[in-house]
Structure 1
Amino acid sequence: MTYVKEKWKQAIDAINDALNICSVNGIKLYTYEKEPFIYDREDFDANRAKMQTLYDLRMVICDPWNSELVWGYSGIDYYNQGELAHSSNMRLPSGSEFSSGVRGTAEYSWQWMGATYQMVERYYTKNGLPITEDRTFDISSVYEIITTPGVMDPEYTDIRGIVQPGVQTIRLYMDREPRFYANLGITGGYWRAHSFRIPTLMFGGAYGGYNSAQHSTDFFCTGIGIQKFVHPESTSGAWQRTIKYPYPIIRLADLYLMKAEALNEYNDAPTQEVYNAINLVRERAGIPRVESVWA
């Protein structure tokens, strides 16, 4: 097969056409514009910029037919399988603080699709760099047990509503980009589902961890859940209680990143136009522009 560089130009033209159509039809990068959920309102007011970014990223997949969706698949069988929504949702713990919810049942909250540690390591640091490239991130100590800042510590201000105060976790889970906390369920973080904010610890007998009384085989085997596919108002007990949304096949962010890749390949080097396309996605994700972190 012969390499034809001009095919990249054809791709650029097609992507630009698609972006123009999106613009005409009001497609734009998603931002969460509703009121935050009741359980988050106090923290949202106290840490507004960080919490807004968290909500933008937490809801961009599961907010049905939102402003960023270009092509969505709505043929998911929620009754028989439900696929990502059911398999990734953790069960609502049986604690008394969740008494108004459907607690302790594995029905339509299967809690078995977890993330690997390799995937966890691929998320960027808070500085928008891979953990192996960020000189402020000590790669040699990522699995050390630490205690998160307490509510009276000045460091807690930036992580309020995102990381639990004063709990044990591992260093790998700290100082990461906003997508990390929006997409995953970790020890020391929060799981937003069942109309609750669940403080997860992800070990046996704790919220999010293995519980043989609920199910003997279904649990997050790595201790890391994936909450990006779970709408915060989805609950257990019946498939009708799952908030249904079209699975995004193409989002506007995908088009921007496709454009950046095609331009980079066609020009044999990154140009400002490449950076501009990438930075639209990075800025919405709450991380610095690519030129500033790779300078």
Structure 2
Amino acid sequence: MKKYKIIIFAAIMGLTACADWLDVVPDGIPTLDMAFNSRVQALKYLATCYSYMPKNGGSADPTTLGGDDIWTRKTTHFSNRFSLAGLDISEGRQNATSPVLPRWASMYQALRVCNTFLENVHLVPDLQAWEREQWIAEAKVLKAYYHFCLVQMYGPVPIIRENLPVDVDVYSVKVEREPVDDCFNYIVQLLDEACDGNMLPTFVLDPATDYGRITKPIALSLKAKVLVTAASPLFNGNNDQATLKNHDGTPLFDTTFKPEKWESAMAACKQAIDICHEAGIMLYRFDDAANRFNDTTVLNITLRNAFNLRSNSEIIWANTQMISTPASGGMIHASMPKLNPDYVNSNNICKWLGMPIKIAEMFYTENGVPLDEDNTRNIGDKYNLRTAQAKDRLYIRQGRTTIDMHFEREPRFYAWVGFDGGVWFGAGQYNDKDASSLRYLAFKIGETDGTEGQGNWTGYIPKKFIPYEAQLNDINSISSPSYAWPIMRLSDLYLLYAEAINEVEGPNGANNAELFQYIDRVRARAGLKGVKESWDTYTNNQKYNTQSGMREIIQKERLIELSFEGQRFWDIRRWKTAPNEYHTPLQGWNMMVSIVDGTEEEVNRMMYQPQFLLEQKFGVRDYFWPIRISDIEVNPNLVQNIGW
């Protein structure tokens, strides 16, 4: 064991840009003795524990292209910069021989590293007791997180409580999967141990060097999400998994619904909210102290910054393993349009990532209710052509013709969705007093962002990924602020709490005031009225009065507020609504229309014809990843997930 070598992964290099404490060991391969012979060396080993965090929001993240909210075509030019492997999940090509974007091996490597740290950190001679306790707590939270990542992906898994000695017999190494409730219980146990006493700081001690390190708000917010997940239909009384058993007959899922799981989740959410408030974490709002912009623009900046402004006031936890930069080949570069006519000939900036029509339709109207429930609109008109007037000028280019459903939508739609004719505030143009000077998207062939056979195929861009200051420097170069990918924002936690209250007692129980308070806080920040006022005024029903109706409202609010952040992928699975979502065919607009194909009206009518893109597939087996067949051959005690 003393000769065990430790590899400090190259991923740490990405961390050093944001955190000086994550330095790389000079020779890269110290012995275990050296790793814990001083505080400096042990801190580097703690950095290694962090280095295994999954790469949220990139091409290695299955939620990016494996869901139903972001889509692109497989093109050689794009795949040179951004892996398209996730499309195999979206398009039903997952398999057990070579699973697509698995986390099995990497997470178990991570757990071994965390256990090694916990087993040896007491050996560090120059480490103060309080700091040792903090580091132990951080490692325990990371162990909990890595187990949770495995459970989300695979369901019940082998729990790695401690590393096995190197001389253990071969039969002890062949571990079995443990019941999924035991997995959740162990994860919560680790988080409770980490939060015991004052081991973790409430605040980031030094934002300049410690950004991304575990705090008490992070640990308690993770606990809240874990318990909400455990209480959700996928893991709570799921009869579809009744046949998943170990070889000795041990069932891996309890098929009995347990309401107390939601009660635990509700209490955990409230505890997490309280500590976040104590830490000064609050819903972000852009402070226009210089009074430069009007209210519409201030709200637009607020909503864009809430996700992609580094270390803003509502980020509970950001993944410094995944820094979004223009040069990273990540989400900024993959989504960025040209916008500037000077760069129309760029072949490298092609807004490759798009979103289907159904996601654009998902956002509320300006009245804060679904498009098909708003009694002020005729849903049959949604694809009819309209021309933007002066009142629309900060959302849609005045004089530009687009379709009815792009008008009078909620502010989050305009802040996070790019569409033909949509105003793009920023990108070098900031004078909202002169709307005609602002950038806008022009998607027809022959215009600035025309597709011409490559690039966007849907007619929509996930604008949320791109800071409003981002712009092209030259024909193939983007300048933009960078940011760490948010794992959890306060709005996420607020909506988890509202969901848990509704599942425990419905919308009319003892905690109904808090239920509506927290969902309405998220809506108010988005420029919308509260749930009750919106549904009373603009719909012909009061669905918020029933548990099922309120469940639908809360789920829709999560899908909108957390759109494109990777949360939808896991949410629709834990709710067991994924089959309905995936079975809605993906459609986009006709992006091969040229400005010379006819009159302006003819061109617009040709463009706004829904085009079939993909018939997705989703069955019971797709809720969980397959375990690689070769891993089962090595360890026959592992049973395969259903359907694989």
Do Structure 1 and Structure 2 share a fold, with TM-score over 0.5? yes
Counterpart in the other structure of 2:507? 269
> Which segment is superposed worse, 276-285 or 58-67?
58-67
Matched to 2:330, the amino acid is E
Give the counterpart of 2:409 among 163, 176, 185.
Answer: 176
Counterpart in the other structure of 2:305? 59
2:363–2:409 contact (8 Å) kept in structure 1: yes
Shift of 1:110: 3.8
Runs of at least 5 residues in structure 1 that lack an aligned partner in the other structure: 96-101
> Which segment is superposed worse, 238-247 or 194-203?
238-247
Shift of 1:258: 0.3
Counterpart in the other structure of 1:98? none
Against the structure 1 CA distance between its residues 207 and 35, is the aligned structure 2 distance closer, same or farther, given a 3 Å change threshold?
Answer: farther
1:34 & 1:59 partners in 2: Cα distance?
13
Tell me if 1:285 matches 2:526.
yes
Counterpart in the other structure of 2:204? none
Matched to 2:396, the amino acid is V
Shift of 1:112: 0.9
| 1:171-224 Cα shifts (integer Å, max 9, x gaps) | 0100100001001111221124542442223221223322x4xxx522x21221
Counterpart in the other structure of 2:492? 254
SS of corresponding position for 1:217:
coil
2:289 & 2:383 partners in 1: Cα distance?
37
Tell me if 1:232 matches 2:450.
no
Shift of 1:84: 1.4
2:347 & 2:265 partners in 1: Cα distance?
46
SS of corresponding position for 1:60:
helix
1:80 & 1:54 partners in 2: Cα distance?
25
1:127–1:134 contact (8 Å) kept in structure 2: yes
Largest Rg, 1 or 2: 2
1:264 & 1:249 partners in 2: Cα distance?
24
Give the counterpart of 1:200 among 416, 441, 444.
Answer: 441
- TM-score (normalised: structure 2): 0.39
Task: List aligned pairs for 1:1-295, cutoff 5 A.
Answer: 1=254, 2-34=256-288, 41=292, 44=293, 48-76=294-322, 78=325, 81-95=328-342, 104-107=345-348, 109-149=349-389, 151=390, 156=391, 159-192=392-425, 194-196=427-429, 197-210=438-451, 212=452, 216-218=453-455, 220-236=456-472, 241-270=479-508, 271-295=512-536
Matched to 1:53, the amino acid is L
Shift of 1:57: 1.0
2:397–2:440 contact (8 Å) kept in structure 1: yes
Against the structure 1 CA distance between its residues 79 and 207, is the aligned structure 2 distance closer, same or farther, given a 3 Å change threshold?
Answer: closer
2:441 & 2:470 partners in 1: Cα distance?
17
Shift of 1:53: 1.7
The CA RMSD over aligned residues, in Å, is 2.4
> Which segment is superposed worse, 120-129 or 77-86?
77-86
Shift of 1:235: 3.4
SS of corresponding position for 1:176:
coil
2:288 & 2:321 partners in 1: Cα distance?
27
Higher normalized helix content (fraction of residues): 2
SS of corresponding position for 1:10:
helix
1:116–1:222 contact (8 Å) kept in structure 2: yes
Runs of at least 5 residues in structure 2 that lack an aligned partner in the other structure: 1-253, 430-437, 537-644
Structure number with the bigger relative contact order (C-alpha 8 A, sep ≥ 6) is 1
1:69 & 1:246 partners in 2: Cα distance?
10
Shift of 1:81: 4.3
Shift of 1:240: 7.9
- TM-score (normalised: structure 1): 0.83
Counterpart in the other structure of 1:99? none
Matched to 1:16, the amino acid is K
Against the structure 1 CA distance between its residues 35 and 85, is the aligned structure 2 distance closer, same or farther, given a 3 Å change threshold?
Answer: farther
